[in-house]
């Protein structure tokens, strides 16, 4: 991949998803698109022309670039801001579903069943989330009694996997959503989790996303971001509560 090709790939990623890739991500990008290039049997320059003309392949390209690793009850200390008033929850960068299911399980343990919308830009992540099958190692942060309550153990070749019980997985609505381009849902949310995605955005994109999500957050509702993220220095109307936690005033 030439420097010119890398820049063009980065421009496409930015324009379509808001993700800002620097030269430090050269190897990552190269690895992520390598499978697609090998499957199609083309060179990087030819692949560029394909994703510029073919919406389906563009979607596959963005899917490969945006997929990220997560696990159950990641950074769960912010879950303390969930209470029985949080009837409508938006998990706005849900990846492969672990966060949304964690929020649901935590809420049920508190004694209520919220409506949870979980969105992501990645089709493959959404497919995995709906399938709700995960490796056992992703459960390391979950107490045994909750594992028994919410998961089914796999058998035979699925022995190293678990599945979220179907009556639980059906309670989460998974939808495709582009934080940069799509209009927010026509409902108001009591709390919004948008974690570990804005770290990939530049300042203008962060401000666009924050403004868009804030419009559908109720007054006094919490806006939760990732532990490695901050809204410092950004133009927004949210009130800082503690690291990763902001509130709409």
Q: 85-98 pLDDT, tens per residue?
A: 999 999 999 999 99
Structural domains of the chain in order of their starting residue, each with its CATH number = 3-66 (1.10.155.10), 76-133+166-248 (3.40.50.150)
The answer to whether 209 touches 201, Cβ cutoff 8 Å, is yes
DSSP string computed for 13-62 = HHHHH-B---GGGHHHHHHHHHHHHHHHT--HHHHHHHHHH-HHHHHHHH
Mean pLDDT across the stretch 5-10?
Answer: 88
pLDDT digits over 151-203, tens only? Answer: 999 999 999 999 999 999 999 999 999 999 999 999 999 999 999 998 889 99
**pLDDT computed for residue 248 by the predictor:** 96
Q: Which residues are catalytic?
A: 32, 120
User: Is the pLDDT reported for residue 66 higher than 80?
Assistant: no
Read off the pLDDT of each residue in 26-30 and give the average, rounded to a whole number.
83
In a 3-state reduction of DSSP, which class is residue 95?
A: coil
For residue 137, the tally of other CB atoms under 10 A from its CB is: 9
- In whole angstroms, give the CA distance from residue 178 to residue 54: 18
pLDDT of residue 78: 95
109 to each of 24, 28, 78, 83, 193, how far by Cα in Å? 42, 39, 15, 11, 19
Q: What is the pLDDT of residue 226?
A: 93
Residue 131 confidence class, pLDDT cut points 50, 70, 90: very high
């Amino acid at each position: 991949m030439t420097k010119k090709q890398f820049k063009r790939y980065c421009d496409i990623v930015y324009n379509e998803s808001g993700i800002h890739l620097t030269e430090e991500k050269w190897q990552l990008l190269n690895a992520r698109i390598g499978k697609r290039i090998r499957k199609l049997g083309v060179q990087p320059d030819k692949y560029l022309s394909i994703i510029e003309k073919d919406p389906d392949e563009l979607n596959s390209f963005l899917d490969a670039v945006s997929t990220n690793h997560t696990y159950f009850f990641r950074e769960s200390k912010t879950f303390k801001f969930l209470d029985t008033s949080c009837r409508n929850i938006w998990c706005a960068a849900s990846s492969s579903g672990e966060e949304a299911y964690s929020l649901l399980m935590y809420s049920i343990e508190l004694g209520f069943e919220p409506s949870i919308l979980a969105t992501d830009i990645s089709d493959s992540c959404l497919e995995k989330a709906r399938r709700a099958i995960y490796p056992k190692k992703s459960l390391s942060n979950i107490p045994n009694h909750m594992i028994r309550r919410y998961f089914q153990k796999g058998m035979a070749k699925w022995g190293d996997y678990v599945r979220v019980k179907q009556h639980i997985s059906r309670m989460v609505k998974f939808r495709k959503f582009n934080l940069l381009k799509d209009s927010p849902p026509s409902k108001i949310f009591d709390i919004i989790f948008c974690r570990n995605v804005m770290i990939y955005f530049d300042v203008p994109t962060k401000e666009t996303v924050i403004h868009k999500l804030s419009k559908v957050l109720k007054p006094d509702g919490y806006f939760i971001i990732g532990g490695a993220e901050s809204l410092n220095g950004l133009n927004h109307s949210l009130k800082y509560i503690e690291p990763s936690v902001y509130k709409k005033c």
